[in-house]
Amino acid sequence: MIPVTKPFLPPQEEYEAYLKGIWKRQWLTNMGPLANELELQLKNHLQIDHLLFVTNGTVALQIAIKALELTGEIITTPFSFVATTSSIAWEGIKPVFVDIDPKTFNIDPSAIEAAITEKTSAIIATHVYGNPCDIDAIQLIAEKHNLKVIYDGAHAFGVNYKGKSIFEYGDISTCSLHATKLYHSIEGGLVITKDPDLLKKMAYMRNFGFDGPERFAELGINGKNSEFHAAMGLNNLKYINQIIDKRKELTQHYDKMLKNVKCFTQEWNRNSNCNYAYLPIVFNDEQLMLKCMENLIAYNIYPRRYFYPSLAKSLPYVDPVEMKHTDDIARRVLCLPLYYDLSKEEVDLICRLILRVQNN
């Protein structure tokens, strides 16, 4: 079987070496030494000043929304994983969708301003598949209308924009370290800000709002992570450049093999590097995509319609709206298998099966 993704796992003996220390210390959670070490190493690797290691990417978004004291309405994209929107609704705020750019798949800045009302408090934009949004345009809109900006960078680990980490932008950025991501800590997430006071506030919020054993500074939740997850994060960080290089090699091989397929790929931000987190292709029509997917599954190859269906029409807690480009891309996009252990021979097989359907 060839799944759409597999988690990278380091040599077992390397991970077990971390476990020996955990057993010795018997400090399992509550931001132990490994969790603190991971935060330090990630700051160094990403070249940023402030970040927090949290339970997962969804909790990161919820903490970000709460820390910025957002209310009313938040403008966001319907072409993202459901957590982007559900986190807004979970905090009692109305998600307001605007359409995407059909080339980049990111939120279209030209559509944002028309959606702003007196209730709008923020913009939450996703760097879809790791591709940076039009950050400059979004920032200008936010400044003009006094709005906060949160970037959902769940897919964007290792991406830079204009020479700086993608997480340097916006009021707060978040990242997912889930097992399906190119860099993971099994379960985990990051919340990042340039503002040290905001970081301190979110650090309190991550730990129930505690400010010492008998005092509370903020309303908080349990957003901490364990030493076992931190151990995996520390271990995997040693291999991140190797992981990205392999995924780049596989992506380039896909590009070569699929050059005659009736499809197109995402237009990447020219001011950014690519982290090769996903391999989405958009077929010229939905029927061709469905036939190709069906043929791949017949050979135990499992791509994914990611993101489908469009959130604009599929959520019971958000009124359905027409989103021309989102609905169109969501119907035709297919993410092909991409992971560290995937071989070029397997890529060849996947591409031959797609070409066979197209050419019949």
Q: What is the mean pLDDT of residues 259-281?
A: 97
Cβ atoms of 46 and 176 within 8 Å: the answer is: no
Domain count along the chain = 2
Task: Please indicate, yes or no, if residue 214 is contained in any of the structural domains.
Answer: yes
Evaluate whether 108 touches 99 at the Cβ level (below 8 Å): yes
Domain boundary among 210, 237, 264: 237
DSSP 168: G
Pair (116, 192) in one structural domain: yes
Which of 213, 237, 261 is a domain's end point? 237
Q: What is the CATH number of the domain that holds 62?
A: 3.40.640.10
DSSP one-letter code for 115: G
- C-alpha 59/C-alpha 229 separation (Å) is 15
Q: pTM of this prediction?
A: 0.97
Among residues 178, 209, 237, the one where a domain terminates is: 237
Residue 63 domain flag: yes
88 and 199 in a common domain:
yes
- Read off the pLDDT of residues 203-247 as tens digits, 9 standing for 90 and up: 999 999 999 889 999 999 999 999 999 999 999 999 999 999 999
Question: Is residue 194 domain-shared with residue 62, that is, in the same domain?
Answer: yes
Q: Are residues 94 and 209 in the same domain?
A: yes
Residue 113, in any domain of the structure: yes
pLDDT band at 263 (very low <50, low <70, confident <90, very high): very high
Q: Residue 278: how many CB atoms within 10 A of its CB?
A: 23
What is the pLDDT confidence band of residue 360, given thresholds at 50, 70 and 90?
confident
- Can you give the pLDDT at residue 28? 98
Using CA atoms, how far apart are residues 144 and 332, in angstroms rounded to an integer?
36
User: What DSSP string describes 229-243?
Assistant: HHHHHHHHHTTHHHH
Q: Please say if the pLDDT value at position 359 is more than 90.
A: no
Instruction: Count other C-beta atoms under 10 Å from residue 360's C-beta.
Output: 7
Same domain, 211 and 290: no
Joined together, the tokens standing for residue 198 give 């905001």
pLDDT digit string, tens, across residues 278-317: 999 999 999 999 999 999 999 999 999 999 999 999 999 9
Looking up residue 274, the CATH number of its domain turns out to be 3.90.1150.10
Percent pLDDT > 90 in the chain is: 98
* Residues 233 and 245 occupy one common structural domain: no
Taking 90 as the threshold, does the pLDDT of residue 11 lie above it? yes
Parent domain of 355: 240-359
- Do residue 72 and residue 198 come from a single domain? yes
Angstrom CA distances, 100 to 161, 245, 270, 306, 348, stand at 20, 29, 18, 15, 32
Q: Could you read off the pLDDT of 134-175 as tens digits, one per residue? A: 999 999 999 999 999 999 999 999 999 999 999 999 999 999
Tell me the pairing of strands 51-54 and 189-192. Answer: antiparallel
2 falls within a domain: no
